[in-house]
Amino acid sequence: MVAFFESPDGLEFLHGLLVAAHVVFCEAGPCGTRRLCQFLQLSHLDYFVAASYGSQNAFAIELQRALVEFAEEEHARLAPQMSPREITLCQDETFHPQTCLVAIEPLSDFILVEGYTDQLDSQTWTARTHQALQDLPVQVVQSASDEGRSLIKHCRLGLGAHHSPDIFHIQQDVSRAFCGKTNGAVQREATKLRHAQRETARLQAERDALGPTHTGLFDVQIRLSQAEEQAATAQWEAVKAQRQEVRDAIRGISDDYHPVDLQTGAPREASDMTQTLEQRFDNVERLADQYAVPSSGRQLIAKARKNIGQLVATIAFFWQMFAIKMAALKLPEELRTALASTLLSASYLNYASQRAATAEERRRLQTLSQACLARAREGPFGQLDAKHQEEVERAVRECAGLFQRSSSCVEGRNSQLALHHHGLHRLSDRKLTALTTLHNFFIQRPDGTTAAQRFFGTPSRNLFEWLLDRLPLPARPRHCPA
């Protein structure tokens, strides 16, 4: 073993192992430098690699600087090769407790803005976003976020884009209005049922322990207890059904909020959406009356209902963008109308299937998407030549991807940062930028693509191999361990 690790091949292996351990365990993962030192000691690699905290911490700092340098180089190299396009941004802030601004392009999951700031206002958001986009051939036409005033002002005035409300926060307000009534009722009835079951079990155990001489007395008590248990079970099932009714009403708001009907694949216009959402909220308010929701809950429902106008405006914005893109291609009116109900529906259903909650729903949406695509190829679209078909399909896919109902990708990123902050208690600017680089250029989806490749449209260089070429060889231990 000593002969191998002292050889050139062994030294190269140690170098790759140490860089991989730092990248996977300490940068992308939750481990600290001290745990890495312990790993080197337990594996006896401290005979060949300096395993002290000082040496490994210095290597970690050098690695983070290299990650920052890689991101800057790749950004400068890939930006000129990028095709111009219009994008949506999902934006939010998190706190560690210092304010951290995060903005992600949702289709690619590429992080454009991620950094700490002392100010949380629209001017700061606009300055950070423009700095991130200054050398990119992209135009932000829509921003999806919560109802924070600074974010809305930044979107409308700073970016000149359409603001799309986050459907999650709307549903959350409605859910909070009912949770005390429905969830509380289910918990109370479940407690009563457990007590009844325990009482029945206690009486049966006492009867069995005392023998047949007391059977008659216990049988009467057990029958009474079982009757109470049956009544508690029926009441528990009833309040569970009531809770499910409320959940279905809340979920229905999200189910309806699509530019394409997920059941039939037919386009849904803004005028139709207004009536549909009004009916959904009418049903929610009916349930609020039925379950005597308090005034605080009614205020939350009223707050959520005020967003109907913005939801409908987002649907109208979507169809406006589709009309603009189709007009730019100079397609005949007949073909535009056919594409709206076939090719656009197919593209949107394909996106929706990737976000479906169950495998069965994913398969159903994929089947419906394929049926819409088949109808598109049988119509006027199928008569175009291959080059024009590819151009139209690309424009339609971009348009379908513009509709974003929530900023969930940013919420997920905020949770990841919170876990890193919890483990380290502090994220420096260098560490935060290193985490951004790993997210954009290192982490891969099942198809093998990184966020940078999906955003720029061109594969980036291999980050790990680049690090091996840049980082120094492992430091030798000053003293050989005993």
Measured CA to CA in angstroms, residue 231 lies from 180, 226, 227 at distances of: 23, 9, 6
Q: Which residues contact 41 (CB under 8 A, 6 or more apart)?
A: 51, 481
Judge if 54 and 75 occupy the same domain.
yes
Give the per-residue pLDDT at 180. Answer: 80
pLDDT along the chain (482 residues), means of 10: 90 94 91 91 91 92 95 94 91 90 94 92 93 93 90 92 91 89 87 91 83 72 88 91 90 90 90 90 91 90 92 93 88 85 92 89 94 89 85 89 88 89 84 94 93 93 94 83 60
Judge if 173 and 295 occupy the same domain.
yes
Judge if 38 and 125 occupy the same domain.
no
For the chain, the maximum distance between any two Cα atoms, rounded to a whole number of angstroms, is 95
Q: Is the peptide bond before 97 cis (omega within 30 degrees of 0)?
A: yes
What letter represents residue 281's amino acid? Answer: F
User: How much of the chain is in helix, strand and coil states, percent to nearest 5?
Assistant: 70, 10, 20
Give the per-residue pLDDT at 214. Answer: 64
- Asked if residue 317 belongs to a domain, the reply is no
Judge if 65 and 192 occupy the same domain.
no
- Asked if residue 473 belongs to a domain, the reply is yes
**Residue 158: CATH number of its domain:** 3.30.420.10
Judge if 127 and 196 occupy the same domain.
no
- Asked if residue 151 belongs to a domain, the reply is yes
- Asked if residue 378 belongs to a domain, the reply is yes
Angle at 206 between CA 203 and CA 211, to 5 degrees: 125
Number of compact structural domains in the chain: 4
Judge if 129 and 193 occupy the same domain.
no
Judge if 143 and 174 occupy the same domain.
no
- Asked if residue 231 belongs to a domain, the reply is yes
- Asked if residue 196 belongs to a domain, the reply is yes
Judge if 94 and 158 occupy the same domain.
yes
Q: Note down the domain range covering 93.
A: 88-164+408-426
Q: Which residues contact 373 (CB under 8 A, 6 or more apart)?
A: 342, 343, 346
Closest CA to 298 of 307, 287, 308, 309: 287
Helix pair 343-354, 359-378: axis angle to 10 deg: 160
Our CA dihedral for 306, 311, 313, 315, rounded to 10 degrees, sits at -160
Judge if 155 and 184 occupy the same domain.
no
- Asked if residue 362 belongs to a domain, the reply is yes
**E strand or H helix at 110, and its extent?**
strand 110-117
Please give the model's pTM, rounded to 2 decimal places: 0.86
- Asked if residue 182 belongs to a domain, the reply is yes
Is-contact 335 395, C-beta < 8 A? no
Judge if 448 and 413 occupy the same domain.
no
Q: Enter the tokens of residue 52.
A: 């002290």
Judge if 159 and 178 occupy the same domain.
no
Measured CA to CA in angstroms, residue 151 lies from 163, 328, 481 at distances of: 9, 31, 56
Judge if 173 and 106 occupy the same domain.
no
